[in-house]
Chains A and B, each alone.
Chain A
Amino acid sequence: MKLRTPQLAALVIVVGLVAGLATVTLAVTNPAGTDAVPAVVTPQMSFAGLAAATGEPELVGMAQAQPSRGEIVQVAGPFDDRFSLEDLAFDGASVTGAVRVTSDVSEVIDLQVLAGFYDEQGNLLGTDRFVHHLGSTDPSHAHETAPDERMIFRIEVPAVLAGQAVGVALGVPVLVNE
């Protein structure tokens, strides 16, 4: 097919040239124009191959610890270079003490102290834990004073183990400072 109207053909050519010029102009004036601007970027919401967490953190050393009667031992955790345990005591019903954070002087955001309770033969009977989370409404987790690097804890022997536990192992699987 042919254009039979020279004027129209000329118009088309002119329009085309204008369009082409406009394209070039656009590219020059907007050198980033070809950069894709993500219309919607959704954060990655999960990770294939990453095993989903189940339950609360444990410490492998709990299974190997064999505290003798009245003994309180510490098992290894990921943050042992960041705190010291102080004023530890066990009366058969609960273990008490304090975690003094030595790495930071700021609010403790999260802390878990895991306690394992053992019988006369050094068998692990069960565990319980002290959990501190900054902002928790549980009064036992709230600061009573200004931010302190020393956190006092008490962990009761679970009722089902009452009268059986004679030794304790302690470890810290969670510690985060502000």
Chain B
Amino acid sequence: MRRPFSALAATTLVVALAATATLTGLVGTSLSASADDDKGRAKNVIYLLGDGMGRTHVTAARERFYGSDGKLAMETLEAQGHVSTYAVEKLSGQPGQADFRPNPVTDSASAATAWASGVKTYNAALGVDAKGVAVPTMMELAKKAGYRTGNVSTAEVTDATPAGQMSHALARGCQGPVYSDASCQDLALTGSALPTTDVRVTPIADQIARNGTADVILGGGLGRFDAADEAALTAQGYSVLGSIANQRTATKTDLAAATGQKVFGLFNRGNLTVEKSKRDNPSSAQAQEPSLPEMTSKAIELLSHKGEKGEKNEKGEKSDKGFYLQIEGALIDKRSHANDAAQTLDEIKAFDDAVTIAQDFAQRDGNTLVIVTADHECAGFNIIEKGTFTNAEASTPPANVDSGNTANNSAPTRPSNARDAARSTGIVNGSGAADAKNFGPATFRTPTDPAGVTDGSPEAGLWLSYLSSNHTGADVPVYASGPGSDQLEGTTDNTALFTIVGHALRVIR
């Protein structure tokens, strides 16, 4: 005898079984992968970047400020490794593709695009891949996912590192306040000029003022923005410190008083002032600029503020979801380009003090991933033995062919040690070449030097020299703490930083 079985029951059973099967699969995946899924997930991510800060920059600053047996704050983070930084040529494919054409030495724009968007691109590109296609940035993804976002730099905020998170540009020189064909278009890439309404040729300042990607923007570059930008910022709810329309820079007093969810403060018309200059000229207008640690502290305060009860973010979610904050110590690179060891070291110290502030917050919060790294090394900075003298262009280079000892007999790419006119620019400082002081290493006292030993003296313990005045292709250090920081042990590529941060914030699968 057949027993009646209702259509609804049958449907219910099928749906339930299907749901069970599906959810069992999901749960199975979730349970089996839960440890991996949750591993590396954090409420907040603070990404600190010392522009141009190579491994030797870190060592030199440690020796200078804490002595050989000391440590910078960044060096105390539990995960430590190295990051490869190479770029690619224009129109190159990505690694592994047939048309992949690497460039060993990156600039700050290509490097920023690597960690901000997870793709290799050509030097000068921001937020576009090597073929000019716009790619989303981590800060855009975080913002869309409901995180609060911040971008802090001691450079102009239109400069490569901050702009890498907040803009898409074929050429990093397209900063504003005005458009020009030469600085914004790239006909080698696009064939013909893009319409000037296209974001990729829109001045970066105009983009930053209108896309709302970062809630808190602190740094320099007021000269890049104009009155229309201020109106656009104000319309989005930003508290604009100082006045863009009147080109009046904000001050650290303005910053200290700032409140609200969206704050825009530029403290210099160009890059911010080096710490040494502010210290030496305390009554100057530039001395009213906040330091990087002060901007870091304020950005964290603003972004971590829980808000009033019931306060929601722009997505209508509770405002304490978390935040993504990028901090750049830009002047490490800029003073390294100038081979200015004294100011470079002071800027590394200021950057490291910002790391301390970030790490203090992370320890109180308990669920914050802190990453400290660099975009590239700058100038071949190195520590040389006390009493030695080096300048490959200025003095006779060591022979690399020793006919009397085959063990020392290398295979020179040059037929002689004469300057190769095609590859060497020669002595950089021209008329100063005869002055030995122009080639002498910079010397600094260290904490363990005897009393009375001064900076610049032959007796000082720290001897520093430079290889060039531009970037090098050396790997850079990375230090990290918090959820997922162990992924940064060993050597990683700069594009992997995008993936690690994206997983931490759950904005990429």
Contact = CB atoms under 8 A, between A and B. Distances in A.
Contact of A174 (B146, B183, B202): B183
A32 B455 CA distance: 53
A50 B504 CA distance: 35
Interface in A4-57: 4-5, 8-9, 11-12, 15-16, 18-19, 22-23, 25-26, 29-32, 35-38, 41-47, 49-50, 52-54, 56-57
Contacts of A9: 9
A23 B16 contact: no
Interface in A142-164: 145-147
A70 interface: no
Contacts of B23: 19, 22-23, 26
A62 B340 CA distance: 38
A135 B124 contact: yes
B20 A18 contact: yes
B337 A178 contact: yes
A70 to B, nearest CB: 30
B338 A105 contact: yes
Contact of B270 (A18, A23, A82): A82
- Bin chain A's interface residue count: 35 or more
Interface stretch (B170-178, B410-418, B472-480, B493-501): B170-178
Contacts of B195: 52
Contacts of B470: 107, 147
B68 interface: no
Contact of A46 (B6, B171, B172, B198): B198
Given A4-B3, A8-B9, A12-B13, A53 B20 contact: no
Given A29-B30, A41-B140, A133-B173, A103 B180 contact: no
A55 B91 CA distance: 27
Interface string B72-111: 0000000000000000000000000000000000011000
A134 interface: yes
B12 A145 contact: no
Given A16-B16, A41-B136, A47 B270 contact: no
A109 B173 contact: yes
A134 B109 CA distance: 14
Interface stretch (B205-213, B346-354, B444-452): B205-213
Interface string B430-446: 00000000000000000
Contact of B140 (A11, A43, A134): A43
Nearest to A103: B270
A149 B30 CA distance: 58
B425 A5 contact: no
Contacts of A106: 334, 337-338, 469
A131 interface: yes
A32 B506 contact: yes
B467 interface: no
Interface of B: 3-9, 12-13, 16-17, 19-20, 23-24, 26-27, 30-31, 34, 37-38, 41, 107-108, 124, 127, 134-137, 140-141, 144-146, 168, 171-173, 175, 177-184, 195-199, 202-203, 206-207, 210-211, 223-224, 228, 232, 269-271, 334, 337-338, 340, 425-426, 428, 469-470, 506-509
Interface of A: 1-5, 8-9, 11-12, 15-16, 18-19, 22-23, 25-26, 29-32, 35-38, 41-47, 49-50, 52-54, 56-57, 78-79, 81-82, 103-107, 109-110, 112, 131-136, 145-147, 173-174, 176, 178
Closest A-B pairs by Cβ, 8 of them: A53-B179, A105-B338, A110-B173, A22-B23, A57-B178, A106-B337, A1-B6, A110-B183
Given A3-B6, A25-B27, A46-B202, 11 more contacts: A2-B6, A25-B31, A29-B34, A43-B127, A56-B180, A57-B179, A104-B334, A110-B171, A110-B182, A146-B425, A178-B108
23 contacts: A1-B6, A1-B9, A3-B9, A15-B16, A16-B16, A22-B20, A29-B31, A30-B34, A37-B507, A43-B140, A47-B211, A50-B202, A50-B206, A57-B180, A78-B177, A78-B178, A81-B269, A82-B270, A105-B337, A105-B469, A132-B182, A146-B469, A176-B172
